[in-house]
Structures are given as structure tokens and as C-alpha cells.
Amino acid sequence: MSVSVGTTDPVHEQGHGGAVETGKGNMRVTVENLTVRIASSKVVIVNDVSIEVAAGEILGIVGESGSGKTTLGLAMIGHTRRGLEISHGAIRLDGRDLTSLPARKMTGLYGSAMTYVPQDPGTALNPARRIGSQLREILTVHGVSKREADERIREILGEVGLDGVRHVLSAYPHQLSGGQQQRVAIAMAFACRPGLIVMDEPTTGLDVTTQRTVLNTVRSLCSKYGVAAIYVSHDVAVVAELADQVAVVYAGKIVERGPAARVFGSPEHPYTRGLLRAVPSAERRTRLRAMPGVRPELGDPSPGCAFAPRCSISESRCHHVSPVLVAVPAGSDGSHSARCLVAPGVGTREAMALDLRVLDAVDDQHEEADSTVVLQVSNLSAHYGTKKVLHDINLSIGKNECLALVGESGSGKTTLSRCLVGLHRGWSGEVRLSDEEITPGVSQRSRDALQRMQYVFQNPYASLNPRRTVGGLLLQPLEHFTKLGRRERNQRVVSTLDAVSLPRTYLAKYPDELSGGERQRVAIARALVVQPQVLVCDEVTSALDVSVQASVIEMLRDLQLDQELSILFITHNLPLVRSIAQHVAVMSDGRIIEQGGTDSVLDNPQAVYTQQLMEHLPSFEDPVRSVGLG
Amino acid sequence: MLLQRVPLGIVTIWIVTMIVFAATQLLPGNAALAVLGKNATPERLAALEKQMGLDQSPVAQYWHWFSGLLQGDPGRSLVNQQTISSLTGPQVLNSAALVVTAGILGTLIGVAVGLVAAVLRDSPLDHALAATALAILSLPEFVIAIFVTVLFSTNVFHWFPAVSALPPGARPWDHVSMLVLPTIVLVIVIAPYVFRMMRAATVEALESEYGEMAGLKGLTKRQVLLRHALPNAVAPTVQAIGLNLLYLAGGIVVVESVYNYPGVGQALYQAILNKDVPTIQFLVTLLAAFYVIVNIITDVLALMATPRRRLQR
């Protein structure tokens, strides 16, 4: 039995056993006044969102963690996570309202008319089942015959670039790389030729080269099959490159929306501007501007604009009147709109432009930095068991210098940092810290050597003991490394807390009470409190939002200047390197393949690998900066 | 994996036989004395010791016993000089019948109820089941046995016999009514473990991202449960079932004694009362072997159900 589907009626009965004509491209998705809340407490997570996506168009939803962007993305295919409910609004897929459909019909639509690409395919693919059966299932469950499904799978594997991978269909998810897993998830999403696809940060865990190919695949498949796509991400650069339309979400509301070029080229909402100012540029060294304050709690009952407490141009009315989305510039066609009482008004554009002009290149006080070498690594090679993972590493860090160690996942950069601080002892070679040679294992090192090199972990949610207060966390290393008296210890703790810009009231707080950025400040303070010469920072901002990242990076920059600190900054993020580091070493496959001054390496990369990295960066063409500076 | 586990298991059993043998050597008195009892004179004792090989070194005695075991001959009972295999064989069989029946029923019930509770998680039924399971888990098995007996045999209903003393030589399946109460007790004791593990593993799978993803692929709730949650719930549940079987091997002693059921528990109890050292040695070794074998089987099954552990990247 075959149920034919007209292009005008994608919402159709499809009992199991009935065949379904797939190929439902060219649909328009309209969301009206969509509100999602927590079912028990009625706390609103997505607030009165109206938006539209046309066939073949990609809508980028941009926001920071806690903004409600993922909830919004999922709600646009009528799905809510457990405990949440769509309390209001309509989602129209070619005119029919999904919110009024019975669950059975929604089940028929999922996977065929609307599909979802998860953030982490490593957890979204079933670990106990083979790739082939998981791929075939999405077709057969919608009535495609087995033979036809196999044919379609062959075709789609070619389209996502997995046709060259041997045994991919008989593999289990864990046998594939992250990039391959994500391509499987994308193949799955496009297999039934859906009309609407929601993608939730699908490239977050991927390195830039893989990200580039995945983004290209997504774009070509969307236009080839006329799919309306929603791309949820915190990564402004990726969205700027991929999306046709953009919606910026803050505290559950769309604060600005419009064509991507307009929103990123001439942002009107102060939050959008703040976000863009916080994003580091790969092209030019800039100071990053963090937004002051923190996002409001979910369900914050305060009236007025949710962004007002953090806003540089807010007026007193902003705290009482809730703004609506209005066309910008005032009186235009409404394709670009912002939810702000002040910004679209006459006279503010000048103020905002001035505001943007502050984005100077960072004054480089380091050019004539002290040439004293603090950390010298010579011919370091490391092993895991019998496997050699690092090959003849040579590098040095001068006093007051920040050296960035760049590489993709698996390049060996974290291994190198663990060798240096003594957490991995299987290495040979020579490491000198201020002319004193240090031993591989942390247990054989002198107290002095340990104190002079401190380590900050990637994830501040895991690296702080939850049962100690901030004060206790900072006192512990002092008690271990120094013989300071009680008063001096307390003074040191307080001054360190000042240095990382945390108020003294935080001494009594527990890590649970702090935000991610505050936790990372505490972790950095814990390293700084013993006054080390070298700080090893392993991806210290990768778990943080971009606006929080900006504040942590600027804090490190200030510390480096004020406290004569040398920093080994490990990251995969090239724009961040440009912002903070004076020198850079590029790692690949356990070797340093290129090193030198940051500007010369990034402007004129010599190694093919570095060239590729730069080339594959999402080309966020700095529209704000050119506008602001122009 | 199997290739590692089996030799390791054999070594474990071998070590157990040595420990068991050493422990019985440490007991006061010796077997010959126990046999002769009040009739012991130094001459008769010496003669019997020689006959039983007790005058040899402990190592030689161990080797004699162990090589006998390997050939399927665990020796003779001290009490009546019957071979231990003919003496304990029927009782081992009786216990096996009880363990297998209770194991299968308890597992099936635990798995089924666990699935239902997982699907209806956080419903009143789920909460009631969780509370019941916890209550049962916190009761010692003899209390459950008494309760079951009062309910089904002595005071409320008079359906089944309160005592399950099979006549000597009788096979358990010829007297099914006698099996019922001990089986019910054992099922009640083990089903909650399986239930809790099954529920937890299934809920985890249903609420996982791949569970959500399966729903967003257009699978019905039933399909998500059977095709995506179940395969991932198998491994932890198999482990729980294995633990239960091991538990049964011990728990059965109490239940057998409550119902006077002639099984391994009773055989061991009698052997200890009679200071029948060879029989004790045999039964303890048998139980240890059961532990090791069940462990190997559950580990291998769990491994087979977990591709991530089974296959290299």
C-alpha cells in the first residue's frame, strides 16, 4: 500500500506498514507566539517567539547557554524535553498547526517530514546498535521498503562523504570518529528528504577542518532538497557563515532578527553588539569586551527589558517597559528588527558607533618584553606505554610572555602540558624552569619547582572541590607551599581574589554557588595565589560562553602585565590565540610543525597544516569592526 | 575475553579447593576420630588413620582428594561410608530445581515489572512498585517465608503444604505442590533486585539522548522501548541476574531449612552437624565452582551485549 503525498499536504496519516512518499522539501515553517515553560513551576523558558523559515533557507538561532535556544529549536518541531510543555502558540508546517496534532501523527512526522541533528552524536547514536540498522530504521519505520532503503542509504552516504569509509554500516558508533558520527547523524536527518531540519550545535565537538566539511555538506543538502533548516549555535562565526536569517535569543526571547548580513553587519540590539564585541577575531588582535553582569535567572519576575541591567545604553524606562520587536532602522520594511526601546531611536547610532570604536588593536606592550627565558623545553619526547606520542618538542617561554600551543584534538597539546606539570611522567628530554632542570614525575619535584609552575584545568565544573569554600580552596596551596603566617596568608588570598576581580564576599561561597566564569576565576586564583612564574592554562575557556570567555581572557592579559606572569595557553581556538598570545606553536600528530610570533604565523602561515587551519576557520568577516572603525 | 576468563576461573576454583582443604585441616580432631567416636582406642585409631590415608603428609592428602575430585570422585562420607556423590547427588538436584525455577520466574517477573515501571516512570504505580521493592529488600528471607506460609498454607489459604520434606528418592518435579512455597519465597526475594536494575537501566536508556533521538526519528514509544532501550538495558540486568543467582546459592540455605526441603543447604547443615569433613569439602567446593561459573557466564553475556567494550575502535 502506498500513501501518496501531495506537496500541499505533508501532514498525513501514515500507519505503520503503509509506504510513505518521502521528499517533502519546499515547506514553509511558521512559528507564532510560541511559549515553552516548565510544566510544574510554570517558569517560562521560551517566551512568545514568532519566526518564519522558508524552504531552502537556513535560520540561525544564536544565544549563550541558558538562553533557551535549544528548547526553542526543539519546540520548532513540536518537541519538548521531559518536564517542559508548549503552553502557548502555534507551529505551522505548510499551514497545519503541529501543536494541535495528536501524538500519533507527530510520531509519523518525526524522521520523515521533520528531523533533528543532535549536538553530540556520540551520545545520540545508540551504542548497542550498528550504524546500518540505525540508518535503515529511519526509512523503514516510515514505510520505505528494505531494498529502497538500502539504495537511499548508499546515495546519502555518498552525499555526506562517508562512502569511502569501509564497513561504516556494520560499525558501532564508538568505532567511528566524532566527525564520522556527525555525518551519520546528518545522513539520518536527510535520509527521508524532510521539509524541516533542526540542528543543535552539530559542529561543536569537531575540529575546524571537519567542521568546515560538515557545514558545507549541510548547506549543499539544504539547497539541493529545498529543506528549511534551523541551526542552533552559540558560535557567532559559524552562524554568520552558514545562515541566511538569524535570530539572537536572550533570556528566552528573540532580541534581534533579520538577514544574517544585516544582523552581524549592523547589529542594533545592545546584546548582539556585546556578543560580537566578545568574539575574538582571527584577523586582528583586539581586546575582547565582556558584557558586565550575568544573565537573569529563569523566571526572573522583574519587569522591563531582560537585558537592561547589563546594558550600556539603558534608560530608566527600560526597567519598566517591556520592549517589543520593532523594525530597524525605524520605518524600514521590518525584515530586520530588534527588541530595544533605545537603540533604534534617532541619535543612538552615533553613540553605539563610538562605543564600537573602542575596539583598538591591543597595545602590544610585549614587543620589547624581557627576553629572559623562564621555561625552556628541549627535545622532549613522550610515550604512552610503548607508543610515542610526542616527538622532539622544543619551545621556550620568556618572562611576561604568553605562548599559545595550538592544535586539534589528538595533536598532543594536552599531553605536552601534562608532561610539563608532571602529571604524565613517561617522557624524556630536558625541561628547565628558570635554569633549574625539572624531573618528569610530580612526586620527585621540589616544592619550589612545583610552586613556580601552576596548572589550570579545562573544566571549572570538575576541577574545584565542591566541599570547600573559595577561601578554603585558595588557602590550601598556600598552606602546602609557604610558611606564611595566618595574617599574611589571608592577605594573600584577599589580594589574589582582587586580582581575578571577584568580590571578597565570595570567600565564604562554595563552587556550586558560582557561575562557570566565576569558577574559572577561582581556579585561576588558586593557581596564582602561590605566585608562580608560569601558568599552564589548558583550554580554560572552552567550557565557557563567549562573553564570559572574553572576561577571563582579559583578566589573564592583565595578570600577565601586572604580575610578571608567563603563560602557556593551550587551545584549539585560533582567534583566541590572536587575541592573547605573543608567540604561537602549532602542534600536529605530536610534533610542533611551526612556531613564531603570533602575527607572523597567523598572517603568513608556512606549514600546510597551519594554512589549512586558517583557511577552514569560519570566515566571520568582522562586519562589526569594519562598521565601527569605518 | 572468554579465553582469559575460563583459565582464570579454573585457577580460582583450584585455589578455593586448597583453602577449603587447609581450613578443614585446621579443625580440631581428625576424621578418623570422628568416625570412631567413643569406640576409639589408640590402635583402632592408628589403623583407621592408615586406612584413610590420614598418616600421610597434608600435601599428599590434598593431592589424593583433589585428583579424586578431578576424576569425579569426591570420596566417601564419614557418616555412613556411602560415596559422597550418591549421598548428595539427589540433594544437589533438588536445590538445582529450586534455583532454576525461582531464578527463571524471578527474572521474568523482575524484567517485566521493571519495563512497566520504566515506561510509567513517576506514576503512582511506579512509586508503589518502588516502595514495595524496597520493603521486600529490607526484610530477611525467613520473615518472607513465614509470611508466605501464613498466607498460603496455615492461616489464610490452605493451598500448599507448609513443609516441603520430599520423601527420600523422590524427584522434586513429582511433588510440585511442595516446590511452590519455597519457590514463591525465593522469587519474592530476588525479583526486586532484577526489577530495580531493569527499571533503572531502561529509564536511563529512555531518557538518554539516543532514546530521545529514536523518538525524533519517528519510532513509536513501543519501538523506542524494544529497539533502543532494551538492548542497552540487557548488560546491567544480566549482571543483576548473575548476582541474584549467586545470592540464591546462599539464600537457599535459609529457605530450605524453613521448609525442611532436602537440598544442598540441608546437606551442608547435616554434614556440619556430623563433622562429615569430606562432604563439607565437596559441597563448599561445589558452591564455589557455581559462583565462579555464574560469574564467568554473566560477564561474558554482559560483554556480548556491550559492543563498546567488546570491539576496538
Q: Output the pLDDT for position B28.
A: 67
Q: Is the pLDDT of residue A82 over 90?
A: no
The reply to whether A327 and A252 lie within a common domain is: no
Q: Tell whether B273 lies on the interface with A, counting CB pairs under 8 A.
A: no
CA angle, residues A59, A62, A67, in degrees to nearest 5: 130
Q: Does A105 touch chain B (CB under 8 A)?
A: no
CB contact under 8 Å between B232 and A128, yes or no, is yes
B122 CB near a chain A CB, below 8 Å? no
Cβ atoms < 10 Å from Cβ of A13: 10
Please check the confidence at residue B162 and state whether its pLDDT lies above 60.
Answer: yes
Q: Which 312-371 residues of chain A touch chain B by CB within 8 A?
A: none
My answer on whether A411 and A463 are in the same domain is yes
Strands (E), A139-252: 196-200, 228-233, 245-250
Q: Report the distance separating Cα B2 and Cα B127, nearest Å.
A: 40
Each residue of A440-489: pLDDT tens digit?
A: 888 888 888 889 999 999 888 889 999 999 999 999 999 989 888 899 99
Q: Are residues A449 and A555 in the same domain?
A: yes
- Is there a contact between A77 and B216 if contact means CB atoms under 8 Å apart? yes
Q: Do the chains contact at A126 and B232, CB–CB below 8 Å?
A: yes
Whether residue A116 sits in one domain with residue A200: yes
| Contact status, residue A522 vs residue A552, Cβ threshold 8 Å | no
Decide which of A479 and A624 is more confident.
A479
Residue that is last in its domain, among A263, A292, A324: A263
The answer to whether the Cβ–Cβ distance between B231 and A129 falls below 8 Å is yes
**Chain B contact probe: residue of A126, A175, A230 with most B CBs at under 10 A:** A126
Asked if residue A180 belongs to a domain, the reply is: no
CA of B310 vs chain A CAs: smallest distance (Å)? 10
Residue A593 CA: distances (Å) to CA of A230, A393, A585, A607: 38, 10, 8, 7
**Tell me, what DSSP letter sits at residue A296?**
P
Please indicate, yes or no, whether residues A252 and A282 belong to a single structural domain of this protein. no
pLDDT digits (tens, 9 = 90+) for A502-524: 888 899 999 988 888 889 999 99
Whether pLDDT at A118 is above 80: yes
Nearest residue, CB atoms, B308 vs list A127, A137, A138: A127
A336 within a domain of the structure (yes/no)? yes
Of residues B78, B190, B121, B148, the one with CA closest to residue A83: B121
The rounded percent of chain A whose pLDDT value lies above 90 is 40
Residue A145 lies inside a defined structural domain of this protein: no
Using H for helix, E for strand and C for coil, what is the string for A220-289? HHHHHHCCEEEEEECCHHHHHHHCCEEEEEECCEEEEEEEHHHHHHCCCCHHHHHHHHHCCCCCCCECCC
Q: What mean pLDDT comes out for the span B164-181?
A: 76
**What are the sequence ranges of the domains in chain B?**
2-70, 90-273
Q: Tell me the average pLDDT across A370-392.
A: 88
- Separation between Cα atoms, residue A78 and residue A62, nearest integer Å: 19
**Long-range CB pairs of B122-126, under 8 A, 24+ apart, other chains included:** B126/B199
Residue A532 CA to residue A24 CA, distance in Å, equals 61
Please tell me the distance from the alpha carbon of residue A407 to that of residue A427, in angstroms, as a whole number: 20
**Is 80 exceeded by the pLDDT of residue A4?**
no
Instruction: Give the sign of the dihedral formed by CA B52, CA B53, CA B57, CA B62.
Output: negative
Partner residue facing A126 (CB), from B220, B223, B228:
B228
A195 and A227 in one domain? yes
Cα–Cα distance measured from residue A193 to residue A26, given in angstroms and rounded to the nearest whole number:
10
CB under 8 Å to B244, separation ≥6 — which residues?
A: B103, B106, B107, B190, B193, B194
B250–chain A Cβ distance below 8 A for any pair: no
Q: Which CATH architecture has domain B90-273?
A: Orthogonal Bundle (1.10)
Min CA distance, A79 vs chain B (Å)?
A: 8
Contact B217 A79 (CB under 8 A): no
Residue A623 clears pLDDT 50, i.e. is over it: no
Residues of A in contact with B231 (CB under 8 A): 126, 128-129
Could you give the C-alpha distances from A407 to A284, A401, A619, B188, in angstroms and in order?
A: 20, 19, 19, 58
Going by pLDDT thresholds of 50, 70 and 90, the confidence category of residue A259 is: very high
Q: Which residues of A270-282 are buried (b: 16+ CB within 10 A; e: fewer)?
A: bbbbbbbbbbbbb
Identify the CATH number of the domain in which residue A520 sits. 3.40.50.300
Answer whether residue A627 is part of any domain: no
Contacts of B312 in chain A (CB under 8 A): 175
User: Of the residues A333, A361, A389, which one is the last residue of a structural domain?
Assistant: A361
B209·A118 Cβ contact <8 A: yes
- pLDDT at residue number A625: 38
Stated as kind and residue range, the H or E segment containing A58 is strand A58-62
Across the range A308-334, mean pLDDT stands at: 86
Distance from CA of B216 to the nearest CA of A (A): 5
Average of pLDDT values for A381-385?
Answer: 89
Q: Is residue A136 domain-resident?
A: no
With beta carbons less than 8 A apart as the criterion, state whether A34 and A72 touch: yes
Best probe of the A interface among B210, B219, B220, B311, by most A CBs < 10 A, is B210
Report yes or no on A366 lying in a domain.
Answer: no
The answer to whether B309 contacts chain A (CB < 8 Å) is no
Residues pairing with A29 in the sheet:
A53, A93
Higher pLDDT, A206 or B136: B136
Averaged pLDDT, A563-570 = 90
In this model, does residue A354 exceed pLDDT 60? no
Q: What is the ipTM of this complex?
A: 0.79
Within this chain, do residues A54 and A194 fall inside the same structural domain, yes or no?
yes
* Residue B263 identity (one-letter amino acid): G
Q: Give the CA distances from residue A140 to residues A191, A545, B59, B231, B281, in Å, rounded to whole numbers and listed in that order.
A: 11, 40, 67, 19, 59
Domain contains A175: no
pLDDT tens-digit map of B41-60: 888 878 877 777 777 788 88
* pLDDT value of position A103: 86
DSSP code of residue A18: S
Mean pLDDT of A9-13: 40
**Among A294-308, B7-21, B22-36, B207-221, which stretch is predicted with the lowest mean pLDDT?**
B22-36
Mean per-residue pLDDT, A144-170:
88
Interface test with A, best of B213, B304, B310, B311 (most A CBs within 10 A): B213
Same domain (yes/no): A573, A476: yes
Assess whether pLDDT exceeds 80 at residue B240: yes
> Rounded to 5 degrees, what are φ and ψ at B5?
-70, -40
Q: Please say if the pLDDT value at position A575 is more than 60.
A: yes
> Is B72 within 8 Å of B289 (Cβ atoms)?
no
Q: Is residue A603 part of a domain?
A: yes
User: What are A140's three cell numbers?
Assistant: 523503514
Domain count, chain A: 3
Average pLDDT over residues B258-271: 84
Return the amino acid letter for A552.
Answer: V
Judgement on whether residues A560 and A434 belong to the same structural domain of the protein: yes
- Mean residue pLDDT across chain A: 84
The pLDDT assigned to B29 comes to 64
Test A174 with B308 for CB contact under 8 angstroms: yes
pLDDT, tens digit, 9 for 90 and up, residues B101-110: 998 999 999 9
**Edge-to-edge order in the sheet of strand A196-200:** A114-117, A196-200, A228-233, A58-62, A245-250, A253-259, A337-338, A326-327
A187 pLDDT exceeds 70? yes
A629: pLDDT confidence band, cut at 50, 70 and 90?
A: very low
Max Cα separation, chain A?
85
Confidence of residue A233 (pLDDT cuts 50, 70, 90): very high
* Radius of gyration over every alpha carbon of chain A, rounded to an integer in angstroms: 26
Residue A285 near residue A599 (C-beta atoms within 8 A): yes
* Interface contact flag, A124 B210, Cβ < 8 Å: yes
pLDDT at A18 over 50: no
- Given a contact cutoff of 8 angstroms between Cβ atoms, the answer to whether A211 and A218 are in contact is no
Q: Is the pLDDT of residue A16 over 60?
A: no
Give me the sheet containing A427-433, strands edge to edge.
A387-398, A373-384, A427-433, A436-437
Same domain assignment for residues A565 and A512: yes
CB contact under 8 A, B231 and A118: no
In chain B, the residue whose alpha carbon lies closest to the alpha carbon of A107 is: B218
pLDDT in tens, A53-72: 999 999 999 988 888 899 99
For residue B190, the distance in angstroms to the closest alpha carbon of chain A comes to 27
- What three-state secondary structure class fits A561? helix
Q: What is the DSSP string of A411-426?
A: SSHHHHHHHHHTS---
Residues in B touching A118 (Cβ below 8 Å):
209, 213
For residues A281 and A296, membership in a common domain is answered with yes
Residue A405 scores a pLDDT above 90: yes
| For residues A120-136, average pLDDT | 92
> Which pLDDT score, from 0 to 100, does residue A12 have?
41
Name the minimum distance, in Å, from the CA of B244 to any CA of chain A.
24
Phi–psi pair at A113, nearest 5 degrees: -90, -35
**A172 and B311 in contact by Cβ < 8 A?**
yes
pLDDT computed for residue A621 by the predictor = 53
Higher per-residue confidence, A164 vs A41 = A41
Co-location of A427 and A471 in the same domain: yes
- Domain of A462 in residue numbering reads as 373-617
Report the gap between the CA of A147 and the closest CA in chain B (Å). Answer: 19
Q: How far apart are CA A278 and CA A287, in angstroms?
A: 9
B85 pLDDT higher than 90? no
